[in-house]
Chain A
Amino acid sequence: MDLNLTAEESAFRDELHGWLAANAPQDWNEWREKPLDESFSYLRAWQRKLHEGRWAAVSWPKEYGGRSATLMQQALFWEEMARVDAPPMVNALGLGLIGPTIIACGTDAQKERYIRKILSAEEIWCQGFSEPNAGSDLAGLQTEARLDGDHYIVNGQKVWTSYGSFGDWCELVVRTDPGVAKHKGLTVLLVDMKSPGVEVRPLRQMTGESEFSELFFRDVRVPAENTLGKVNDGWNVAMSTLMYERGSYGARLHLIFKRFITRLIELARTVQRNGRPAAEDPLIRQKLAQLSAEIEIMRFNQMRAFSRITATGVPGPEGSLQKIFWSELNQRLQQIAQELLGSYGQLLGGDPHAIDNGIWSYAYLRTRGNTIEAGTSEVQRNIIGHFVLGLPRSY
């Protein structure tokens, strides 16, 4: 183990540093607080620019537009992005989960067709897994696909689909064989969201905005060549997507959390508590110190997990540890932010008295979704108990 920068890593960082200095947008603050439907094309343009500089997915292999970046280089990438406060990449699911799944399970023709447009944000992806009656029990899903010549005919409903209303393509899990055990009859299809028979209805979240949607499929024709992986092997394909989702999301989050805690510490110096700056209050000091420490531990966990993935080639069920850690840490962080901000914490964006234009009240509510999305904390603990620790199955 050696965490000093090698010459190669320094060169990587310097190159990125120079590129960001020349290309990172200066007007992100004007867009940051706007709803996604207003800032979407702005963010799309930013991702396209990153792609042109070959920075959109540094961890991906070179032949697919990445830089085959090492673990350390990936960490450097996110650090530099955070340092210049660069906007996020809008095709998050495409870059983080679905692209890697296509690279791992797709045919050469599929990689050729989809990968570049994921990188350039020309095509935005969403993940059509959950259904009204199949959330935690994903394998119980009922959306069916029937082969009709060289097309599948898809019928059914998905729910909670993030970016559903922006999606050009969807990684859709469907049932192709209702006659076998529920995990065995599933297949993953890559579905053009503009196909006739696809209907998207935005759902309003408890935060007030509509980040996710319901998707309805009525006799939607999907070319059989859009099957990702093998027919009736969809469970394994979907699992590899979920493992990317659980295992790798933390890298980006570390920097977001780091920004939150840095800002909180800054605020603690000005907010008064018992007639002194809160930063001098022993209780607040303990809480902020605990958060800072846990944010570092999250990063160390992440780095070890990355090393393991680099060695084995695929993320494993240990990713559940990361998922539990970041989601529950984020909730603790937002609660402590609320305690620090007191009555001001409740103010929403747009209120002239709100601190940081209401991001704290928004984040407080939004983090409730963190322990539900990408598999609930209960399900992640089941996975650790059974698949990592070898305990008997509990359900």
Chain B
Amino acid sequence: MQFGLTESQEFLKNSARQFFAGECPSAEMRRLMATDTAYDAVLWSKLADQGYTGIIYPEAYGGVSLGKVELMLLLEEAGRALLPGPFFSTVVLAGSVLDAVGTPAHKKQYLEPICKGEVRSTVAILEAGASWNLQDIQLGASNGKLNGEKLFVPDAAVADFLIVIARNGIFLVNAEARGLTISPMSGMDLTRKLYVVRFNNTPVEEIGPNLDLARALDISTAALAAELVGGMQRTLDVTVEYAKTRKQFGKPIGMFQAVQHQCADMYLETESSRSAVYYAGWALEENAPDAATAVSIAKMYCSDAARTVGNRGIQIHGGMGFTWENDLHLYYRRAKASETAFGDATFHRERIASMVIDSGSVSAKSA
């Protein structure tokens, strides 16, 4: 056993870090965040040139066929840069749904242009009840048409097509389709825009039953947790740097145990989050029997850790941490939005409980 990155994984991670540092430094991230959609076509084509838009998908569709661990590493680095725009929505979310449920023809038509960086997409899941439990979905297609609305849909305004999870299947809607309206919501995370998507007799194309959705959502959930790891790492790095240089009472504040121990806790939470995410990536890649549990463990832990790491980072920066100019709050806002997206810690604890407690009682009974 070797629970560490291989040389090529290390290489991918480092080059992604350099790429994002060069193409999406803080100033660029802030520029994009201030635009309506946070999308930039030039940056997108550079992401495609790197092969990032097709990272885990088959070469047959223009992808690079890397594994889920590599996906985690890429998203970790994107999270460290707080990459704005529809990368997660398009590549991770829409891509993994198409990959999991689409026919070869669908993949050719929709996944391939995603891999090649030619289109943007997203997946619409939540409704007014805002439940991440797929059984609670009410919206259903009839006669090839959708009527109703989806909420909190990320990056919908720049999607060339949207994938809609309905009660009776998974449907694809063209951005130009009749009766489709997309209006912005205003959320705390300024780098990932959310929308209300309304359908009024909107024609849709069915791409599959939602039976096979669980795996695609697990991949997306783990990838979102990986982003949080990157955000935590960035928050930890700048905070430790600040604690070494900021002086009060004639000493660097990092000399005070109250500060040092908080930095140590941030480190502990960041590393533990990373372990959970890497394991989830591996389990997904290997189709391990505990893959779903591993994803919930990662999302549960990262959801809480990203918030507490952010709390401590801001606290150690004192008044400076409370300013708009400091990037910490932008990471903190992302952490809050991602904390609830794909289920918060409570949701995933419940999932873990049903897997480790309820399934345990089943085997006890049969013994």
Contacts and interface: CB of A to CB of B under 8 A. Distances in A.
Contacts of A205: 322-324
Contact of A203 (B129, B257, B259, B323): B323
Interface stretch (B30-38, B112-120, B174-182, B186-194): B186-194
B9 interface: no
Contact of B152 (A135, A343, A364, A376): A343
Contact of B324 (A204, A283, A368): A204
A75 interface: no
Given A346-B340, A378-B259, A361 B248 contact: no
A381 B130 contact: no
A134 B186 CA distance: 37
Interface string A356-378: 00000100110011011100111
Interface string B263-299: 0000000000000000000000000000000000000
A368 B185 contact: no
Contacts of A134: 248
Q: Is the interface of A mostly helix, strand, loop or mixed?
A: mixed
Contacts of A395: 249, 251, 256
A130 to B, nearest CB: 7
Given A206-B329, A272-B129, A335-B307, A347 B185 contact: yes
B101 interface: no
A164 interface: no
Interface string B328-367: 1100110011011100101000000000000000000000
A293 B253 CA distance: 35
Interface residues of B, number: 46
Contacts of B329: 206, 365, 368
A301 interface: no
A296 interface: no
B188 to A, nearest CB: 4
A368 B336 CA distance: 13
Contacts of B341: 343
Contacts of A377: 315
B257 A394 contact: yes
A135 B311 CA distance: 19
Interface in A181-225: 203-206, 208
A347 B186 contact: yes
Contacts of A351: 185-187
B130 A344 contact: yes
A369 B322 contact: yes
A326 interface: no
Interface of A: 130, 133-137, 140, 159-160, 203-206, 208, 272, 275, 283, 331, 335, 338-339, 342-348, 350-351, 353-354, 361, 364-365, 368-369, 371-373, 376-378, 381-382, 394-395
